[in-house]
Amino acid sequence: MALSPVVLPDLAAPAEETMKAIRVHALGGPDALRLEDAEIPAPAPGQARLRVEAAGLNFIEIYQRTGLYKGTLPFTPGTEAAGTVDAVGPGVAGVRVGDRVATVNALGAYAQYTLVPAERLVPVPDSVSTRAAAAVMLQGMTAEYLTSSTFPLGSEHVCLLHAAAGGVGLLLCQMAKRRGARVIGTVSTEGKAALAREAGCDDVILYTQTDFGAEVKRLTGGVGVHVVYDSVGRTTFARGLDCLTRRGMMVLFGQSSGPVEPLDPQVLNQRGSLFLTRPTLGHYTATRDELLERARDVLAAVGDGSLRVRIDRELPLAEAADAHRALEGRDTTGKVLLIP
């Protein structure tokens, strides 16, 4: 009896015509995030379509949702995702259907499918789970460039790290210790303090109970720290400048409490010829070679266990609003993932 031919599924053409996606039609609070049906996008030249298995939550999506970062309405939030290449557009080389990849440049990651410039996709090694890759791409590469390039830490340095039990904070603690630095971290609760210590913090300050500026000076014998890594912004920035030693550097890489007040550059002179920088990951992964180098370093460390990724919670796409509330309320320790 003749056997019927086996028909393999066409990964480049999903059977369904629509997908679920989060859409923002009006700026506002978390309730602005709406789960809707949307067309599955077709990749243009140079693009790949990613079947999203996990999307990482980041403060930038809150800034976009509230209008702090300007954009065009309506839009689907999200840039960080990991999953499987589902289709490729014309002219794409080096990425194939079926590849397991991750990115921080998705065009709307809060969805079942998203488009990505193919050159911004990074292969995920077999030693790293897809969800771990989604959890570490943005925050891991951020921690990597902050400690290796923005202010290259060494054993002679002392650093102050705000939000030490957050997603970036826990990774920063580990990377700073790997480079031999002394790490002072600030957190809000005893529970978060324990996590920061476990990640490598030498000294942990509960800023809800202690003036962190005075405590830093006490811990350093009045000298101060060489660098402050500040992702909080408005509520920590000015006091953080007082924590720096002469010619120290303030690295302001976020603003979870709001944007900082305008600064007279003369303040930097008065407080010890300080340096101030406002870096962003895009400028440290501007070329594909640099992107691949940083991503490979981070993913290799995750794969061999030398860098631990803490996933705080995984929520279905329909609960994106709750995920935003948790992140805004600083009710998270580690990474929050949305699972389509």
At 34-59, the pLDDT tens digits run 999 999 999 999 999 999 999 999 98
Q: Are residues 55 and 134 in contact, defined by beta-carbon separation less than 8 angstroms?
A: yes
Mean pLDDT of the chain: 94
Average pLDDT over residues 119-142: 97
Nearest alpha-carbon partner for 231 in 328, 307, 166: 166
Question: Model confidence over 2-23: pLDDT tens digits?
Answer: 433 333 334 444 556 899 999 9
Cβ-Cβ contacts under 8 Å for 9 (sequence gap 6 or more): 15
Which tokens sit at 172? 């920063």
Q: CA triplet 186, 320, 74: central angle to 5 degrees?
A: 115
Query: How far apart, in whole angstroms, are the C-alpha atoms of residue 106 and residue 335?
Result: 18
Under the banding of pLDDT at 50, 70 and 90, the label for residue 187 is very high
- Hey, what CATH topology would domain 140-279 get? Rossmann fold (3.40.50)
Q: What is the pLDDT of residue 206?
A: 97
State yes or no: pLDDT of 62 exceeds 50.
yes
User: Could you tell me where in the chain the CATH 3.40.50.720 domains are found?
Assistant: 140-279
Q: What is the pLDDT of residue 267?
A: 96
May I ask the CATH architecture of the domain 18-123+310-339? Alpha-Beta Complex (3.90)
User: Could you tell me where in the chain the CATH 3.90.180.10 domains are found?
Assistant: 18-123+310-339
Average pLDDT over residues 200-228: 97
Place of tokens 């589902």: 86
Q: Are strands 158-161 and 182-187 parallel, antiparallel or unpaired?
A: parallel
3-state secondary structure of 1: coil
Length in residues, the chain: 340
Report the range of poorest mean pLDDT among 109-118, 194-203, 251-260.
251-260
Query: How far apart, in whole angstroms, are the C-alpha atoms of residue 70 and residue 77?
Result: 12
Question: Which amino acid, 178?
Answer: R
Q: What is the pLDDT of residue 330?
A: 80
Question: Which amino acid, 329?
Answer: G
- Which residue would you say has higher pLDDT here, 330 or 116? 116
Query: Is the pTM higher than 0.85?
Result: yes
